[in-house]
């Protein structure tokens, strides 16, 4: 019988890209040159690249065929018409504004929907999302349920908003001081935790009563839908497509990074239902991105995005996607490696505090662990802890998140189960001599989004 826990790839491979392993000595040299920051490694020096699932996806033959249909007219591209109608059909929002990637949409939304001094509550934060909110005078407030901050607690829908936290904020500051609620489905930095349909419904009903808009971060909305289908009562027989569409019926719009659940390498968009907001966003898109019919994306990439979004809704695709990530997690758990539970849709998050108990958070355990994993097996991962969290804009102090993690992120349709075995073996081997992992200190700290280009030295 087939093992349904780990379904085989629902595709066959038509094009291959050669990857090669280097030596431990070489990797020690490369990581030092990169300032112990995996973002600064050359891709060529990486064997298995699990830095991110963003823009690293393998496109299908149909998407590549679509690339040849690129209409690169400066205005009125037919690929834009295809993308716009696809998004309207699958998401159900009235207006769509294309952007070069997700943060372009975050920039537009933050500019048109936040007045300086207003609050922007959200279920945890994402780096670029919070950056744009704060850069436009917004005050971010974390209203995710407390359990999301507990790495080991294995319960479903840890990404839910705590409605009492939202109500308390509204009671304290007044609804007019809340720009909008930012609801991410799934919550990347909590470990890819999904949000339940029940929670979306309740948050939206409350917000509608208060006259507060809800904007979703739709970046991994298809993965979220899969968890709902699998784990929330009443959804087992519904299609992923219908679940995705229902999710968005509880929002006034969304920002989207096409680089994730549109299975492409670039692109993004903003959706809104409100005509005034749409007109404002369309006025700004020409300043920051390009004409409202391309928004910084080539016609061919818009075509690939339209096709990829439809492919993402296929049941076999999304089942394999989530279960491949789970396979890696299961192997690590079996060997006693501490990871964030339950496992999310796009990545396995290692619990760096538990992995490196000999390091204090001020010694950047997750950053050090990511560097050590690279040296151990040529596998590139990413810090998601105190470095990513940045400093408080007012006090200048480090945000010190409870979750100090290394994200082992799986690109879509790129690697096989055997690759997952190699990654698991690397991490398990390192775990056996974890005491050798040395802490880090800053050599260069950038002022914004410091994790991307910061450099470190070993203590
Ligand atoms: O990288 P962008 O600009 O297309 O999208 C920004 C963005 C917004 N929201 C969420 C939840 C993200 O995960 C996200 C980008 N994520 C990256 C780059 C990642 O490595 O997870």
Written as one string, the DSSP assignment of 334-355 is HTT--B-SS--SSEEEEEHHHH
Tokens of 142: 């974390």
24-53+315-458 is classed CATH 3.90.1150.10: yes
What residues are in contact with ligand 1 under a 6 Å CB criterion?
A: 52, 54, 101-103, 126, 128-129, 184, 188, 217, 219, 257, 259, 268
Residue to mutate (ligand 1; options 106, 109, 182, 188; most atoms within 8 A of CB): 188
Which ligand 1 atom sits nearest the alpha carbon of residue 129? 8
pLDDT per position in the chain (459 positions), as tens? 678 899 999 999 999 999 999 999 999 999 999 999 999 999 999 999 999 999 999 999 999 999 999 999 999 999 999 999 999 999 999 999 999 999 999 999 999 999 999 999 999 999 999 999 999 999 999 999 999 999 889 999 999 999 999 999 999 999 999 999 999 999 999 999 999 999 999 999 999 999 999 999 999 999 999 999 999 999 999 999 999 999 999 999 999 999 999 999 999 999 999 999 999 999 999 999 999 999 999 999 999 999 999 999 999 999 999 999 999 999 999 999 999 999 999 999 999 999 999 999 999 999 999 999 999 999 999 999 999 999 988 899 999 999 999 999 999 999 999 999 999 999 999 999 999 999 999 999 999 899 999 999 999
CA of 237 to the centre of ligand 1 (A): 30
Phi, psi of 409 (to 5 degrees): -105, 135
Which ligand 1 atom sits nearest the alpha carbon of residue 101? 4
Task: Report which protein residue has its CA nearest ligand 1's atom 13.
Answer: 188
Q: What is the pTM of this model?
A: 0.96
Residue 2: per-residue pLDDT: 77
Residue 217: per-residue pLDDT: 98
- Count of residues for the chain? 459
CA of 122 to the centre of ligand 1 (A): 15
Residue 394: per-residue pLDDT: 87
Q: Active-site residue numbers?
A: 74, 126-127, 217, 260, 384, 451
Task: Report which protein residue has its CA nearest ligand 1's atom 17.
Answer: 54
d(CA 458, CA 359): 12
CATH class label, 61-312: alpha beta
Domain ranges of the chain: 24-53+315-458, 61-312
CA of 241 to the centre of ligand 1 (A): 22
Residue 1: per-residue pLDDT: 65
Spell out the alpha helix ranges (H) of 45-177. Answer: 61-67, 78-91, 102-113, 127-135, 163-173
Tell me whether strands 268-272 and 95-99 are parallel, antiparallel or unpaired.
antiparallel
Which ligand 1 atom sits nearest the alpha carbon of residue 382? 20
CA of 54 to the centre of ligand 1 (A): 7
CA of 262 to the centre of ligand 1 (A): 13
Which ligand 1 atom sits nearest the alpha carbon of residue 103? 3
- Rounded to the nearest 10 degrees, the angle between the axes of helix 163-173 and helix 197-210 is 10
Q: Which residues pair with 440 in a beta bridge?
A: 458
Which ligand 1 atom sits nearest the alpha carbon of residue 267? 4
CA of 99 to the centre of ligand 1 (A): 13
């Amino acid at each position: 019988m087939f093992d349904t826990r780990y379904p085989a790839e629902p595709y066959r491979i038509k094009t291959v890209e050669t990857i090669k392993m280097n030596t431990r000595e070489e990797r020690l040299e490369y990581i030092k040159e990169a300032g112990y920051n995996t973002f600064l490694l050359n891709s060529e020096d990486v064997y298995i690249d699990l830095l991110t699932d963003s823009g690293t996806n393998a496109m299908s033959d149909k998407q590549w065929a679509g690339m040849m249909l690129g209409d690169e007219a400066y205005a009125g591209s037919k690929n834009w018409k295809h993308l716009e109608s696809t998004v309207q059909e699958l998401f159900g929002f009235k207006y769509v504004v294309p952007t070069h990637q997700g943060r372009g949409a975050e920039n537009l939304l933050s500019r048109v929907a936040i007045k300086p001094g207003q609050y922007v509550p959200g279920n945890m934060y994402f780096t670029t999302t919070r950056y744009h909110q704060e850069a436009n005078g917004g005050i971010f407030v974390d209203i995710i349920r407390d359990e999301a901050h507990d790495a080991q607690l294995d319960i479903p829908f840890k990404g839910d908003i705590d409605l009492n936290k939202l109500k308390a904020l509204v009671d304290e500051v007044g609804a007019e001081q809340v720009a909008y609620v930012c609801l991410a489905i799934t919550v990347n930095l909590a470990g890819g935790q999904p949000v339940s349909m029940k929670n979306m419904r309740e948050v939206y009903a409350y917000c509608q009563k208060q006259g507060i808009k809800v904007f979703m971060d739709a970046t991994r909305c298809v993965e979220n839908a899969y968890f709902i289908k699998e784990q929330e009562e009443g959804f087992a027989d519904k299609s992923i497509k219908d679940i995705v569409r229902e999710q968005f019926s509880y929002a006034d719009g969304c920002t989207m990074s096409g680089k994730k659940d549109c299975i492409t390498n670039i692109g993004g968009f903003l959706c809104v239902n409100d005509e005034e907001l749409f007109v404002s966003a369309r006025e700004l898109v020409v300043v920051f991105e390009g004409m409202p019919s391309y928004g910084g994306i080539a016609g061919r990439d818009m075509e690939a995005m339209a096709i990829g979004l439809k492919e993402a809704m296929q049941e076999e695709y999304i089942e394999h996607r989530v279960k491949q990530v789970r396979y890696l997690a299961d192997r690590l758990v079996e060997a006693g490696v501490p990871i964030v539970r339950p496992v999310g849709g796009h990545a396995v998050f290692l619990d760096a505090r538990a992995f490196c108990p000999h390091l204090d958070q001020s010694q950047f355990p997750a950053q050090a662990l990511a560097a050590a994993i690279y040296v151990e097996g040529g596998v590139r991962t990413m810090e998601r802890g105190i470095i990513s969290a940045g400093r408080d804009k007012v006090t200048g102090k480090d945000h010190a998140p409870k979750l100090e993690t290394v994200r082992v992120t799986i690109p879509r349709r790129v690697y096989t189960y055997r690759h997952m075995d190699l990654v698991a073996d690397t991490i398990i081997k390192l775990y056996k001599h974890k005491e050798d992992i040395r802490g880090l200190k800053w050599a260069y700290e950038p002022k914004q989004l410091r994790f991307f280009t910061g450099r470190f030295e070993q203590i």
